[in-house]
Amino acid sequence: MYFIANWKMYGDLKTLNSLDKVIKFSKDNRKNKFKIVYCPPNTLIRPLSKRLIKTKIEVGAQNCHESENSGAHTGQVNSKMLRNVGAKYVILGHSENRQIGETDSLINSKIKSSIKSGLKIIFCIGETLKERRSKKTNQTLSLQIKKGLKSIKNKSNIIIAYEPVWSIGTGLIPKSEDLIKSIKFIKKKFGKKSPKILYGGSVNNISISQLKKISVIDGFLIGGASQDSKKFIDIIKKTYI
């Protein structure tokens, strides 16, 4: 079971002190087979990876440039650079980035370069509210998978995060039966070699009571609630209660 913390544009060096509670919790609960991954802003990847060096908690990035090589890309960071400072995962295709211009083709290039750099991919897919109301959820998911993973044969380092766009940051989550249908549809697209499927979108210490009952979910991509160590720990605890 994965618990991936997407800190988005949040945190500074002082914020890292709050992780001592999570580190202790992780060490005290090693019997439960869950994996914690923190994806902070790029500015915190190196200091966070150093802080977690003697733990089983891993570090990821929130995005990267598609180029494998250095170049004239002001303000950009590629997958090799992220790997070099301690990242082992990278979130790609998040709807917040799709909404500012990332296309399926661009995401595909980022996934390819990240795999070559040795990063594990958290590949986000999800439909908008308009697409859901038009009953185009499966069509949207199918297209995002097809284009985003085009020409990628080895998918062993890819995790899928199903994040309905309309659910992110709204406090709304899909009905259990709808969520089960969507995740089963995604798994069916991959056949017997389906990757782990996570759910993201308004995951918090309240909604987890409903979400944990859905056995087809392999973990959670958690946004705002992961910025608070107590809430993040509560989510993990309640998953196993």
Mean pLDDT for 92-98 is: 96
Please tell me the distance from the alpha carbon of residue 157 to that of residue 112, in angstroms, as a whole number. 11
183 φψ region: left (φ > 0), alpha (ψ -120 to 50), beta (else): alpha
Mean pLDDT for 90-110 is: 97
Q: Quick one: pLDDT band at residue 102, thresholds 50, 70, 90? A: very high
Mean pLDDT for 171-180 is: 94
Q: Quick one: pLDDT band at residue 33, thresholds 50, 70, 90? A: confident
String of DSSP letters for 144-177: HHHHHTTT----TTEEEEE--GGGTTTS----HH
Structure tokens that stand for 204 in this block: 């918090």
Please tell me the distance from the alpha carbon of residue 44 to that of residue 30, in angstroms, as a whole number. 25
Please list the alpha-helical segments (H only) found in the chain.
20-28, 45-51, 79-84, 95-98, 104-116, 129-133, 137-148, 176-190, 208-211, 229-240
Q: Quick one: pLDDT band at residue 31, thresholds 50, 70, 90? A: confident
Q: Which amino acid is at 235?
A: I
pLDDT of residue 81: 98
pLDDT in tens, 109-140: 999 999 999 999 999 999 999 999 999 999 99
Q: What is the average pLDDT score of the chain?
A: 96
Per-residue b/e over 45-58, b at no fewer than 16 CB within 10 Å? Answer: bebbbebbeeeebb
Mean pLDDT for 51-70 is: 96
pLDDT of residue 209: 96
Is residue 11 predicted with pLDDT exceeding 90?
yes
Mean pLDDT for 74-95 is: 98
pLDDT of residue 45: 98
Catalytic residue numbers, as ranges? 94, 163
Is residue 161 predicted with pLDDT exceeding 90?
yes
Count how many Cα atoms sit within 13 Å of the Cα of residue 96 in the half-sphere of its side chain: 12
Is residue 147 predicted with pLDDT exceeding 80?
yes
The superfamily in CATH containing domain 2-240 is Aldolase class I (3.20.20.70)
Ordered by start, the domain boundaries in the chain are 2-240
Q: Quick one: pLDDT band at residue 32, thresholds 50, 70, 90? A: confident
Mean pLDDT for 198-218 is: 96
CA dist 83 → 97, 168, 216 (Å): 21, 28, 31
In the block, residue with structure tokens 């992220």: 82
